[in-house]
Amino acid sequence: MSQIKERMAQDLKEAMKSGETFKRDTLRLLNSALKQVEVDKRIVLSDEDVIGILKSAYKQREDALEAYLNATRDDLAQKEKQEMDIILSYLPKQLSDEELKEAVKKLIAEIGAEGSKDLGKVMGASKKLSSVADGKRISAIAKELLS
């Protein structure tokens, strides 16, 4: 069983005991998403699977946050932001821009990419960085380094 999933279950119990309703509800929602994937695919989720699902949930909230801010719905935007903070606590620490730049430089050197025409190769090889950085950030840095 996934360590992240176990930690989420433990935190859910603690939130229920301490009366943290927002955290409790958010963790229940995330657990539901994880359980749905397990049932649909008939698998036991690994940490890698859980990270993928949590990143997807984070992205959904990020999009909703942007929409709420554009609609000047600060109350709903604040709720999305709080959910994003909870999700982030279960994801691996994201690399800083400098750390990501170094990792992408190494990746470019490993595959021998030389110009912007090799961006697809770099992005294909960047899967190992996907748990510690957003694809948009990886792409932007790769474009910058290859140009």
Q: Are residues 82 and 109 in the same domain?
A: no
Domains: count for the chain: 2
The predicted structure's pLDDT at residue 26: 97
Nearest to 109 by CA among 82, 142, 76, 63: 142
Nearest to 67 by CA among 85, 53, 81, 82: 81
> Which residue, of 58, 88, 118, is where some domain finishes?
88
Digit-by-digit pLDDT tens for the chain (147 residues) are 689 999 999 999 999 999 999 999 999 999 999 999 999 999 999 998 999 999 999 999 999 999 999 999 999 999 999 999 999 999 998 888 899 999 999 988 888 888 888 888 888 888 888 888 888 889 999 988 888
CATH number of domain containing 76: 1.10.1510.10
> Which residue, of 55, 88, 121, is where some domain finishes?
88
Look up the domain containing 108 and give its range.
Answer: 97-146
Neighbours of 34 (CB within 10 A): 20
pTM of this prediction exceeds 0.85: no
